[in-house]
Structure 1
Amino acid sequence: MFQVLVAEDEIWIRKMIVDIIETTYGFQVVGEARNGQEAWDMLQELWPTLVVTDIMMPQRDGLWLVEQIAEKKLPMETIIISGYDKFQYAQQAMKYQVSEYLLKPVKEQELREAMQRLYARLEDNGKWHTYLLMVQSFLEELAAKGNLADMSDRLHHLLDSVLAIRDTYPAYYTALLRLLYTKWTERLGSITSGTSQLFHSQDALTVEQIRTQFDELLRSSLQTQPNDRYQLDKKVIREVCAYLEQYYRKNVSLTEMASRCHMSVSHFCNVFKRQTGMTLINYVNKIRMEKVRVLLLEPDLKIYDIAELVGYSTMSYFNRIFKELEGLSPNEYRKANGI
């Protein structure tokens, strides 16, 4: 399944796009954003293979978003859906290597055909997600504070994997090293001006220099984050979880929750996953499904009403999440419980 992030500020258009994607074979929506900044924050946690975005949105627009993706050389395809049939927008989209440019009002068949045209490229990009997952896995293990010897072995294994593609795929190699370094130093919270520039020109660094820089980061990481910092993070996330238990029906965003905690989105994502073992989206889905299981035992309630009651506005998305977590469709769950 190819994972898709949708960015659109008008909720009814966003829900329509989500529904089209969810009912297109081989694709699933993993996140919905209301503006370019929120989408950028989310994609750094979710790592979708495809981003579908509007152009005109508040805070940061869709062109800013695809520019970030292009500049960071992230292995993602992009589809722009625009209400503006202007050459200057299309020209900028081409500059940022946008895969498809569709005009509003978007037609269902046009969007499906655009996604199908990208299928081969998305399959090719899929292997880069293996590397992204390796980076994420390493950082999560690092947060759990393994011993130096074990983490050193894990680091060298990761670096060997990334360095192996240095000559064959230099753009992805550069992007992966930069990603690892940036996410790591964000967690560490202390970047010196000289060191922060090292991974903006990887060709100037030898393999040994790269290993040395990351070995130093590893030693620094395992010596920091004292227990009182951990306890504070634990307290903050406990309060977030209590908030989500009460307001799970809301379409909460990473940006909103990070702001409540006075954290950057990236740091919030790291701390939340470290404390709960899951992403914010998965945590909200877990709470909602706990409520759904109870409501499905009420025979007078329609399934679409239950979905709406717990915060889902798209039935296809609701059905997919329920089946992923329960192993049954909502109807099958009812039948299994004699309803």
Structure 2
Amino acid sequence: MNRDAALAGAAVGVVVVALLGVLTVPGVLADPTENGPVRPGAAELRETSIGYDESAVRGETVTLGVETRIRHWGNPTENVTLFVRVVDAESGLVETTETVDVGTLRGDGETPVTANVTVERSGGYRIETVLFRDDERIDEGARTVRGLEALTPTYARSTVSFSDREALPPLAFSVADAGENRTTLELSASLTNAGDSPSEDLSVTFVLRQADSNVVAARTTTDVEAIRPGRTATTTATATVPAEYNYYLDAVLMRDGVVLGTARTAANLDPTKRISVNETEEAVEFRVEDFESGGAAGRTATEAGTAYAAETSTSQPGFGVVAAFVALLAAALLARRHQP
């Protein structure tokens, strides 16, 4: 066999091998867009919302609902989990953790995922969310909640409270009888029912404390009649105390031994000296700070989508249409060149 015949046979062999690959190996010449890329789709955290149900507020703890919205696009993404970590805002110690198995994300859109975490009803916490795919961290974010002590436990919740109108103060008194050594006071507390049902089983305890010594001079409790929805009622009682002293008058609204609210005023019976109630209080409220997105690489959604498309377009298996065509053309040219 001469040299030209051997080269021609080799060229034919290359062509045969290429054709056999096209016929026997699935996807060798397939368009990458037909079956989709092998690489899983992209996913990222969009936002995290933190809330609570009133029934989940207890004396020492509260259960917070952490809802995280995960944006997904491209091919299905399997083995997705969301890890939630609660860190004390003051000490930096981890309070609790929760892992949610998201499963497989399909299609383009957002998927809400909820995790419930129980923490102490005090101070504030940093709630961190981490998105994993096959145990690989792909995105993260965080929110901070503060003022949990402002949440009212279920057992202490009531629609009735002391009135806060200037014309109708929550607590007042008048002198019913002024003796030489003793003074009888008529005490009154104004209560408003802001609910939709009549109030039940309420009582008010009045406490008079001598201002200089802080000694309790009198204490009395009276039951509160049912207050209709949207109405304001006045509860009264009498108390006798030593004359010509100044007193702090406290009123405690209670139901079945649970304190629902308090009010305070000053009763000045000393004509030479007056006292006042310090009404300066630091307001505490439950609040959630803005969502902080860490991002796996700090990329925007557009940048991530562009990178994802570039990565998937270069990760296709097989030769591809162009590669097979180049192989056939090279083999044909080689055979033609060595023909006699």
Fold conserved between structures, TM > 0.5:
no
User: Greater CA radius of gyration, 1 or 2?
Assistant: 2
Higher-RCO chain (CA-CA 8 Å, sequence separation at least 6): 2
Relative to total residues, which structure has the larger strand share, 1 or 2? 2
TM-score (norm 2): 0.22
Give 1 or 2: higher helix fraction. 1
Give me the TM-score of the superposition, normalised by structure 1: 0.22
